[in-house]
Amino acid sequence: MSDTDERAQGAVIAPVLGGDERGELERLRQEVVALRATAVPRPRRRIRWASLAAAVLLVLGCVGVPASVVAMWTHNQVADADRFVATMSPVILDPAVQSALTDRISSEVLAYIDVEKLANDVVDSLAVQGLRPQLVDGLRDLTGPLADGVAGLVHDRVGELVASPEFTSAWNRAIQVAHQEANDVLSGQAAAIAIEGDMTVLQLGGFIDAAKQRLVESGFAAAGKIPEVNPTIDLFPASTLVRAQTAYRGLDAVATWLPWITLMLLAAGVYLARHRRRALLGVGLGVVVGMLVLAAALMVGRAVVVGAVPEQGVAAAAASYDILVRFLYAALRTLAVLGLVVALGGYLSGPSAGAVQIRSALARAFTRLGRGRVGRALRSGPVGPWVHAYRGLLRGAAVGLAVLVFILLDQPTGRDVLLVALGLVIVLGVIEFLGQQPESPTHGGTTAAATPG
């Protein structure tokens, strides 16, 4: 403040303040100046590196969850022939796939049996033997409908064959052989697979033979004249195998170690987090988001696959894709439910107002239950005090047992996750109910003193 301003202010204050008041005001001004001179500058907020590391680990772990799911599913389909057959076997049961195979096999059979030409040859033979021209002309008019009828008969018999259990067995053998050949190519154990041009194909020779046998047994002897043929159905571009060879070499290691690395990242992130319950909530929601992203990617992949096939094969391609990725969808749903359960557990154990109210309501309910005859018996006996003393250890053991049960389940579903979580909640409730504090010794002593001896 300048001297001019101070004099002006003094001129205003002078008529109002007395001598003592002016002295006190000056003293206060001097104290303010002294405090400003000796004030310590506010320290700059330091970065908590543990929290930053926790955030990075949690993000990497949440990203690793969908990557682990895809890696394990791909590894199981590529390296495990039995798993691949179990995945692809239901494809042949789909009506759209059966219709497509029936049409293809029927057209291949009829390509080697010209029914109309055979009928015309028979009519010509009859004409040479002296059959009246009117009858010859009438028979020639029937060759077209006869050929259509035979084509319908062939289609029906082939359709029955495709829907039969023996065709399903032949289908399983065919895809197992195709998988083994593809696996040999990917692992470098074989030099070639069933490839025609730029496409990897499924060979239909065995199916054609089965169709020939079925037609001959049905009375269509002409089917026995079909030569040994081996038509094919395109599966996917052969260049896909070449590109996949490099990825295949690292697939075993990725599928084996990535899930464990992901779990360690998440565990380390929760451990280093400043607010662990909040971190646990973030892990659960992160897993759910990752599964939603993976589901969206599968939907986009379905659109791409279906859009790449001709219009007549759209239904079969869509059905085949849905069956192929059904185990992946099952794992996706299971982990999404597990993420929701973890997020709910993190929320209910946190300090938010809603969580505190829920825990308080449960505590009041257990307190009311403990006031009954059973509660008094537990407090006076050995069980209640023992459970109360070790309730923290018992809770941890219950959580560990629930995790172990989930790990040991073979292909757990979302329902299994909910059942395990419900069982854990029930066990924790039982521990809370059994853990009764022992009766106060002072209360017992007072009672004993008041009782006449």
Tens-place pLDDT, residues 290-332: 999 999 988 988 888 778 777 766 777 787 788 778 888 888 9
Place of tokens 């279906």: 306
DSSP label at 232?
A: E
CA geometry: angle 391, 392, 393, nearest 5 deg: 90
Over residues 383-401, mean pLDDT:
86
Amino acid at 5: D
Confidence of residue 247 (pLDDT cuts 50, 70, 90): low
What pLDDT was estimated at residue 382? 83
Over residues 435-446, mean pLDDT:
60
State both tokens at 393: 């250890």
d(CA 199, CA 152): 31
Q: Is pLDDT of 452 > 50?
A: no
Instruction: Give percent of the chain with pLDDT exceeding 70.
Output: 68
What pLDDT was estimated at residue 293? 93
Confidence of residue 101 (pLDDT cuts 50, 70, 90): confident
What pLDDT was estimated at residue 285? 92
Q: Is pLDDT of 270 > 50?
A: yes
Confidence of residue 336 (pLDDT cuts 50, 70, 90): very high
Q: Is pLDDT of 142 > 90?
A: no
Over residues 136-140, mean pLDDT:
64
Over residues 251-277, mean pLDDT:
86
Torsion angle of the four alpha carbons 27, 28, 29, 34, in this order, in degrees rounded to the nearest 10: 90
Over residues 179-200, mean pLDDT:
58
Place of tokens 């040479």: 128
State both tokens at 367: 């307190």
- 64, exposed or middle or buried, with CB in 10 Å at 0-12, 13-18, 19+? buried
Q: Is pLDDT of 387 > 90?
A: no
CA-to-CA dists, residue 278 to 62, 275, 333, 343, 345, angstroms: 15, 5, 23, 9, 10
Q: Is pLDDT of 120 > 50?
A: yes
Over residues 419-428, mean pLDDT:
90
Q: Is pLDDT of 178 > 70?
A: no
What pLDDT was estimated at residue 168? 78
d(CA 328, CA 4): 83
| DSSP characters over 336-383 | HHHHHHHHHHHHHTSSSHHHHHHHHHHHHHHHHHHTSHHHHHHHHSSH
| DSSP characters over 109-161 | HHHT--HHHHHHHHHHHHHHTT--HHHHHHHHHHHHHHHHHHHHHHHHHHHHH
User: To the nearest whole number, what is the mean pLDDT of the chain?
Assistant: 75
Q: Is pLDDT of 215 > 50?
A: yes
Name, in order, each residue with C-beta under 8 angstroms of 442's C-beta and a sequence gap of 6 or more: none
d(CA 344, CA 97): 43
- 229, exposed or middle or buried, with CB in 10 Å at 0-12, 13-18, 19+? middle
What pLDDT was estimated at residue 379? 75
d(CA 388, CA 384): 6
Report the candidate in 153, 175, 191 with the shortest Cα–Cα distance to residue 84: 175
d(CA 453, CA 450): 9
d(CA 316, CA 96): 5
Confidence of residue 47 (pLDDT cuts 50, 70, 90): low
Q: Is pLDDT of 287 > 70?
A: yes
Q: Is pLDDT of 191 > 50?
A: no
Over residues 339-363, mean pLDDT:
84
Confidence of residue 199 (pLDDT cuts 50, 70, 90): low
